[in-house]
């Protein structure tokens, strides 16, 4: 039995690009311009809440509230969720309280380390400035004594 009508149609009229040596000759490629999308400062439409730490705002823009699980295996488990109706099909926040607190502690430790580093740098700068001030004071005292000697000669 020979090839069916459909097979002969596909073989004859359909070019899948497999016989092309140059893939750019194929019509099924989409050429996108090499333009980077514009970057805008965050605004209420494009802003998304931070996924790290204790959530305060849901992805939909409504406040995140602390709720308690009442159904299922994790009954009485506390979690953050959207204050609005979460059955509307949109993407809403869901984060366990334990995870949120651990992330917040990690963030706090990181920020504390950064502040300690900056404080150490500032203390070092203060000590250097104190040394410079003492050096300038000693030079000033030397210049004052030189001025007094010159005034005594006149």
Q: Is pLDDT above 60 for 12?
A: no
Q: Domain for residue 42, yes or no?
A: no
Instruction: Report the pLDDT value the prediction gives residue 76, as an integer from 0 to 100.
Output: 87
Q: Domain for residue 52, yes or no?
A: no
Q: Domain for residue 99, yes or no?
A: yes
Q: Domain for residue 14, yes or no?
A: no
Q: Domain for residue 73, yes or no?
A: yes
Specify whether the CB–CB gap between 103 and 120 falls below 8 A. no
Query: Which one is predicted more confidently, 64 or 16?
Result: 64
| Other beta carbons within 10 Å of 107 | 14
Q: Is pLDDT above 80 for 19?
A: no
Q: Domain for residue 46, yes or no?
A: no
Q: Domain for residue 144, yes or no?
A: yes
Q: Containing domain of residue 102, as a range?
A: 64-153
Percent helix / strand / coil, the chain, rounded to 5: 45, 10, 45
User: For the residues 73-83, what does the mean pLDDT come to?
Assistant: 86
- pTM of the predicted model as reported, rounded to 2 decimal places: 0.50
Q: Domain for residue 140, yes or no?
A: yes
State how many domains the chain has. 1
């Amino acid at each position: 039995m020979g090839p069916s009508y459909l097979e002969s149609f596909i073989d004859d009229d359909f070019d899948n690009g497999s016989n092309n040596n140059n893939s750019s000759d194929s019509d099924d490629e989409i050429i996108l311009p090499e333009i980077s999308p514009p970057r805008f400062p965050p605004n209420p439409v494009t802003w998304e809440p931070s996924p790290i730490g204790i959530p305060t705002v849901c992805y939909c823009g409504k406040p995140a509230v602390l709720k308690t699980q009442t159904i299922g295996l994790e009954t009485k488990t506390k979690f953050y969720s959207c204050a609005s109706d979460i059955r509307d099909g949109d993407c809403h926040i869901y984060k366990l309280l334990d995870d949120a607190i651990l992330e917040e502690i990690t963030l706090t430790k990181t920020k504390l380390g950064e502040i300690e580093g900056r404080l150490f740098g500032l203390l070092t700068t203060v000590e250097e400035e104190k040394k410079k001030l003492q050096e300038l004071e000693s030079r000033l005292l030397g210049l004052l004594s030189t001025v007094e000697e010159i005034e005594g000669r006149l």
